Structures are given as structure tokens and as C-alpha cells.
Structure 1
């Protein structure tokens, strides 16, 4: 499961890399078509124009190595004994099962669905095998928020052989971004203070990733404020172009919210209870990511089941945590925590009530401060 970090907008401290970073300058991208791709179509290549890559189009027989790897992963998952190191898979991989006896179970309210897809990332006629996960609101088909398509591994073929192009390591994460780009977050042990976090956009090219541009956040100890930089050369080191924090929303909106659906390795049984789901997209004043950066597009949600029970997550709205409840026509009655029955010991959550009213596809919700907010009905 993706770790979600919520906080007010404060500076990035040495012991806490959480920081809002951001900015993007308007840029023009020139993509030159390669005539060699036209010839490659006769050999079964994609009809998309190439980007001058050296890899030739792979045959169906070549893709057998992808099928072999997929089969091994499925077998490991079905036995609940997937050995990531033996298969040379990313240590970041979040498995789709979390036993109730696990320490992580209480934090698994929402679903991370481990899967795979094949996609020609650079238009050279060879499909890549991408392993990753989608995040959904638990028990639904509703994406949880931004950063819903996490990439763990990317493989390609070269001369019929499997090439491991990308393998996400500790303190870094990769996502699908807009316009065919791949976005990398880098923080923690992968950066050196005063750097808090670096975000880099890449284009896939043959069997490597080429930098498009990127952004960086550093903490200024004298002013105790964050400084942001933008670079098309070296986002980690280039300090020639300082930019403002206000651009952060623009970069997230335009380039970091690409949803690409993976095929599940193991089909999970669907919940017998069907939910009606209402969501509210949160952004201002919150951080999202296991590296503790970026502005979130996280969805607070309320789920109603036909048996007059439900679940809600208002944690990132400054409103408690993951609750289960019963409901009547205009009130929600909190009955406990989701997946964590001991979390409420000593806390008075039993008896908390919220007012709501439904107007068309909008649910109006009254919080503990007496403020009303709108939640929108989702297709599920």
C-alpha cells in the first residue's frame, strides 16, 4: 500500500524530508519521427513513428520470456511465497495479499492491486513489460487519487534477451505521467541534505530512460524556507533556475495524474457487498507520497452499503481516520475503526455522528466543525 503523508505546508527539515516541491516551466517538446520505423512495420512493428531507437521489433516468439516471468510471479503469488530477490524484482513491490496476522494489516484499508501490462513505450515496435500496481478505494473500482499507477519494474527485449531497464529501489518511486513520460520521485537516503526531494521526468528510449526535465526542493537553513529549482539538464544539481512554490499545482495537474490500468496477477474475490461511493478530491495544504512530497489529489471518501453500514476516510481532511459506521436517512453513526479494532481504545469514536444529505449526484457532508462540503458520486 502506498504510504500517504498529510501535513501543513512547512519547511523540509534535515530529519524529515517531507516537503512540498514543485514547479514546471512551459516547454515545447520537439519529437522527430524516424523513417526507420516505417520499414520496421513490415516485420510486425508498431505503426507509430519511432524515436530513433536501435531495438528492432520483437516477434511473438521473443515475447515468450515475458510470459515465463509472468507465470513465475503468478505461481509465487498463488502460493503466497513470491521471492522478489530470486526473480530480480523491485524491493518496492507491494503484494496484493496482507494476512490479518501481519503487522501491516491495519494499514491496508485501501487496495494496491499488483499487476502487469505490455506497452510499446517508445514506438520502436518492441513492447515493454511493466510491473506495477493500481490503488483503489477498498472493495471498489474507484481509483484512490493521484499517483494511482505505480511502476516497480520495466523490462524490454534486445536481441531476443530480457533486459531489466528499470528497478525501483528504496526511497524512490516511479509513476506513469502524461504524454508517455515516466516520473521518478527521489528522496530519503537517495539525496543529500539540504536536498529534500527531487522529481525527474523521463522518456523511455530503447533500453534506457532519457531525462526530459525535473524539479528539486532544498531547505535553506538561514531562512528556514524551501527553495525550488527547475532544470532540463540535471534536476539533482542544477541551481541556475530558482522558481516559486505556486507552480506545484500546475505540474501535478498537467503531468502527474496519469491512470494506466494493470492486469491483475491474481484475481481477488469481489466483495459481496456493493458500495455506493462518494468522493471529495483533496489538494491544498496536504502532502502525498511515501517520500513526503508533492501536493496530493487524494480522495476522501464515504461508502454506503445496502445493509445500512458503511466506511469513510476523512483522515486527510483533518477529520480522524478510517471509520466504519451505520447510517439512516440523514445521519452517519460511527461504530469503530476499519481493520484496526484496537486503535480506538481510549478514544471516544463510538457515538460520533455526522449529518449528510444527498442532492442528485452530490452528497453534502457536515463535519465536526459544522462546515458543509460536497462529495461527488463515483461510478463503481
Structure 2
């Protein structure tokens, strides 16, 4: 599972602002199936098609020094990013390369945006650029445990905007619920007896720097199911002097948490106009898939056009069509499943899902 996570991480570095996208249903093979199924089961039509284009303008990269001299406030920089997002090319701006790539999903959007906040309480606000992962046609966070991602952090020094953090392609940064900034990084082990390492560092933003609070390191032993956990308050990449239990590891993870922060979108997300009713189910899994955040949410979405999203478990998310009694996947009546709604609770088999929107 570790390798699949790293591949997924590399594939999902992204920028939705640079690539507008079609409706989750229309313009895809799944759309056609859903439309046919809806007629068969419910007798209704799908929604209208949407189109998308990708701007591919080329510009020379601007240097860090040039950007620091150019911008004396965040407003102009934000306007420039918004303009580049609309044109479909950010490569002329000094922002993380994570933002250059695109992410496409039938069921979720990854929305590029920003927030301005004083991270260390010194009276100077920082500009944080990142992305939110949201269920299509809603502002509700998606299934992924990394629903708020940080790409860049800027601050003002003597009225000049400077870069404090610029993430690399193999890094994940996000907010902890305790005010920390969390970094996850995976890399191959140097020792042949070990497999891939997962390193998590917890930072505190202070005086325009990210200072290490503590960190944890996980080592997968080759040809076994063993995982060793280490703690460090100095350098979690190399310090293996303090081996800890899995229970202690979970305690550290839970103490820092994972904070959802809503960014202001650089461009308006594409919406189909469908109304969504979203039911969620909290899930917790032991550390088996290499992700430090071991809690997430399954969800089921019922759209007003009688289509829906079933995003449950470790399988691929699925579209379905529905009526008041059952949901049906693909064009297969044998895969129809009955569900029950009582107040704000949806019951599907042995699981209960709570209405969120």
C-alpha cells in the first residue's frame, strides 16, 4: 500500500484553477451510463453537458529576487495569480511547482486558493496559498484525509513580500488543529533492510520561520509486516534514538490533528446547478496504508438530477442512479441496493450515515 500512496501523491499534485473541468457526470462514459440508467430506473434525463479547456501559454520563470522586489503587498500578487489562473498558466510566478500540475476527478474538485492570517501573532499577516478538496457541486470536504493542503507561505518584511515556505513535489503540508503546521514526506530508506520511510514533522511558525516542535519517523522492514516507530524533538529524518509504540504514535498524531481551513478560491469552481444531499460516516483504520492521518470520512451524495456518488471503503468511487427506495450502480439491476432514511440518518446495510448538507 505504501507504494500506491506515493504514486497517488505524485499524481495528485495539482491546480484546479489552471484547468476548468466538465460536469462530474456529463462528457464522460459514466455520464452516458448514468443517463441511460436514470431513464431505465426513474424515467428522468441527465443534466446538460459542460466543456473545459486548458490554457497552455508559455512564459519565462521569474526569479525569487524579482518577485520580492516587485510586491510590496499581497493584493497585487493575488490579482496576478488570479489572472494567471484564468489564463491557465502560473509558470511566470514564484509559487510552488505543486501548483503547476493539474488534478482531475469525476467526483471531487481540488480548488486552488488562499487565506491571509497572522500565523505567529506578531501583527504581520501571512499569505498562505494552497487547495481544498471538495465534493462536486458542494463546499464540503471530500473523502481524502488531506482536505486542506499548503503550497506556499509568504510574509512581509519591511513592506516587501518574501517567500517563507515553498513546497516540493514529494511533500505534503497542512494545518494541525493545535496551531502547528505539519509536513509529511516519504522517501526510500538508505539501508537495504528497510523499505520506504515516512517522516512527519510538526512545526510552529515563529518570527518568519518554521521551527521544529517534534516529529515521528516510521520504518517499514523489507519482507515483513513490521513497522518501527521513532520520535524526535530535533531531527525526525535521522534520529532513531527514541523508539516508540504504535499507541504512542497515535497519541502524537491525535494531539496535533488535521485542521480544515477554507481557502478563498482564485477562480469560481464549475458547478452544474444540481442540489446535493450529503451523508457522511466517520472511519478510522489502523496504520496500514502509509498515511499518517488514519481518520477520514466515507460519504454518499444524492443529487437533484437523481444521480449520486458512492464513495465508501478503499475501492474506487462510483456514480449511481437512485429513486426513493434504492440506488443502482452502472447498468446492472443485480447491483441495486436498498437504503432507508430516518430523519438525518441514512442506513445502508449495517452502516449509518449522518446528513451533513
- Give the TM-score range, shorter chain: 0.7 to 0.9
Superposition deviation, residue 91 in structure 1: 1.2
| Equivalent of residue 358 in structure 1, options 318, 331, 341 | 341
Aligned to 1:323: 318
Q: Counterparts of 1:171 and 1:150 in 2: how far apart (Å)? A: 13
Secondary structure, counterpart of 2:295 in structure 1: coil
CA distance in 1, matches of 2:344, 2:4: 40
Deviation at 1:350, TM superposition (A): 6.6
- For 2:127 and 2:134, locate their aligned partners in 1 and report how far apart those are by CA, in whole Å: 22
Closer, same or farther in 2 for the Cα pair 1:303/1:16, shift >3 Å? closer
For 2:174, the equivalent position in structure 1 comes to 175
CA 1:326–1:294: 2 relative to 1, 3 Å: same
Q: Are the structure 2 counterparts of residues 88 and 207 from structure 1 closer, same or farther at C-alpha, using a change threshold of 3 Å?
A: same
Contact 1:172 1:186 in 2 (8 A): yes
Contact 2:136 2:271 in 1 (8 A): no
Classify the secondary structure of the residue corresponding to 2:74.
helix
Equivalent pair of 1:281/1:300 in contact (CA under 8 Å): yes
1:243 CA drift (Å): 0.9
The equivalent of 1:345 in structure 2 is none
Q: How does 1:1-380 map to 2 (within 5 A)?
A: 7=1, 64-83=72-91, 86-93=92-99, 105=104, 107-145=105-143, 146-188=145-187, 192=190, 194=194, 196-221=197-222, 225-285=226-286, 292-314=290-312, 317-318=313-314, 320-335=315-330, 351-366=334-349, 372-379=350-357
Give how far 1:247 is off. Answer: 3.6
Q: CA deviation at 1:181?
A: 0.7
CA distance, structure 1, for counterparts of residue 325 and residue 90 of structure 2: 46
CA contact (8 A) 1:17 1:187 kept: no
Q: CA deviation at 1:127?
A: 0.6
When the two chains are superposed, the root-mean-square deviation of aligned CA atoms in Å is 2.6
Alpha-carbon shift at residue 128 of structure 1 (Å): 0.7
> Is the Cα contact below 8 Å between 2:300 and 2:311 reproduced in 1?
yes
Contact 2:328 2:336 in 1 (8 A): yes
Higher mean alpha-carbon deviation, 122-131 vs 304-313, is at 304-313
Question: 1:304/1:184 Cα in 2 relative to 1: closer, same or farther (>3 Å)?
Answer: same
State how far apart, in whole Å, the 1-side matches of 2:320 and 2:177 are. Answer: 38
Q: Distance in 2 between matches of 1:66 and 1:310?
A: 40
The CA distance in 1 between the partners of 2:128 and 2:89, in whole Å, is 21
2:202–2:215 Cα contact (<8 Å) kept? yes
Per residue, is there more helix in 1 or in 2?
A: 2
Which blocks of at least 5 consecutive residues in structure 2 are unaligned?
A: 7-69
Give distance in 2, aligned partners of 1:223 and 1:322: 30
1:269/1:114 CA distance change after superposition, 3 Å: same
Paired with 2:178 and 2:275, the residues of 1 have a C-alpha distance of 35
Closer, same or farther: CA 206–275 of 1 in aligned 2, 3 Å: same
2:115–2:128 CA contact under 8 A, matched in 1? yes
Q: TM-score, normalised by structure 1?
A: 0.69
Q: Secondary structure at the match of 2:178?
A: helix
Report SS of the residue matched to 1:197: strand
The secondary structure found in structure 1 opposite 2:338 is: strand
In structure 1, the gaps of 5 or more residues are 1-6, 19-61, 99-103, 337-348, 367-371
TM-score in terms of structure 2 length: 0.74
Note if contact 1:163-1:207 (Cα within 8 Å) is conserved in structure 2. no
Alignment: residue pair count: 290
